[in-house]
């Protein structure tokens, strides 16, 4: 009977040892796997640059998410500059508007159609009007998604007889999309609308 108990004790001891070894191996495997994932992620964040074929320089790639605020502001600014910068040249206007429409959804196209119906572009061409835009500020809210924005700027409208300064306040949202050649920031403006676009002052031009 004593031999039987000894055999049972040895068997249990062997089972405990094997169990402990198994748990240790599982833990070690998990640690090695986690470590390998971190190393792989670090390697993807590095760019190796060949300097004149002689040496390799390592540059850390900047995390894209850290730059989204600046990219969002530039996207909004670029859209408004393209959409509201006009010269008395039909091809110039069409090129600007086409580039702007890549950056926004149907709401921008609806506004473009409204301007066309109101004969704005024909008036610019026929009356030799130049319109430029000065950005005052852009407010972005990244606390929710899509990201809300508000644009504030001033239009300078140069006519033959006078110069008009006009306020411009618009609102909309930014949605993340894939980056393309026409949309390098990877944002799409949605629900864009003009809140205020009133004249601030008109200055008569001197005649020569």
Quick: pLDDT tens for 179-206.
Answer: 999 999 999 999 999 999 999 999 998 7
Residue 97: what are its φ and ψ, rounded to 5°? Answer: -65, -40
**Separation of alpha carbons 1 and 111, rounded Å:** 96
Average pLDDT over residues 22-38: 77
- Confidence grade of residue 22 (pLDDT, cut at 50, 70, 90): confident
Whether residue 78 is predicted with pLDDT greater than 60 in this model: the reply is yes
Of the candidates 197, 207, 208, which has an alpha carbon nearest to the alpha carbon of residue 131?
Answer: 197
> Is the overall model pTM greater than 0.95, yes or no?
no
Q: Where are the domains of the chain?
A: 2-60, 65-204
pLDDT at position 5, please? 53
Mean pLDDT of all residues in the chain?
A: 85
Instruction: Give the rounded percent of residues in the chain with a pLDDT score beyond 90.
Output: 66
The answer to whether 199 touches 165, Cβ cutoff 8 Å, is yes
CATH for 65-204 is: 3.10.450.230
C-alpha dist (Å) from residue 14 to 9, 23, 116? 9, 14, 87
Most confident of 50-59, 146-155, 199-208: 146-155
17: its two tokens: 């040892």
Q: Where is 193: in which H helix or E strand?
A: strand 187-196
Average pLDDT over residues 92-114: 97
Whether residue 20 is predicted with pLDDT greater than 80 in this model: the reply is no
198: its two tokens: 């009133």
22 or 59: which leads in pLDDT: 22
pLDDT at position 195, please? 98
pLDDT at position 14, please? 77
pLDDT at position 18, please? 72
Whether residue 48 is predicted with pLDDT greater than 70 in this model: the reply is no
Residue 46 per-residue DSSP state: E
pLDDT at position 60, please? 43
């Amino acid at each position: 009977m004593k031999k039987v108990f000894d055999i049972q004790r040895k068997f249990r001891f062997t089972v405990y040892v094997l169990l402990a070894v198994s748990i240790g191996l599982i833990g070690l495997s998990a640690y090695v796997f986690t470590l390998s994932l971190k190393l792989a992620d670090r390697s993807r964040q590095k760019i190796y640059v060949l300097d004149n074929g002689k040496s390799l320089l390592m540059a850390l790639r900047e995390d894209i998410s850290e730059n989204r605020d600046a990219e969002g502001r530039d996207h909004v600014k670029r859209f408004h500059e393209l959409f509201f910068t006009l010269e008395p040249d039909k091809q110039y206007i069409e090129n600007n508007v086409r580039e702007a429409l890549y950056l926004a959804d149907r709401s921008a196209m609806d506004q473009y159609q409204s301007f066309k119906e109101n004969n704005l572009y024909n008036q610019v061409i026929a009356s030799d009007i130049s319109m430029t835009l000065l950005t005052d500020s852009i407010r972005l809210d990244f606390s929710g998604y899509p990201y809300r924005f508000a644009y504030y700027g001033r239009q300078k409208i140069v006519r033959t007889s006078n110069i008009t300064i006009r306020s411009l306040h618009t609102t909309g949202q930014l949605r993340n999309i894939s980056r393309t050649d026409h949309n390098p920031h990877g944002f799409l403006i949605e629900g864009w609308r003009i809140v205020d676009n009133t004249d601030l002052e008109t200055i008569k031009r001197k005649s020569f």
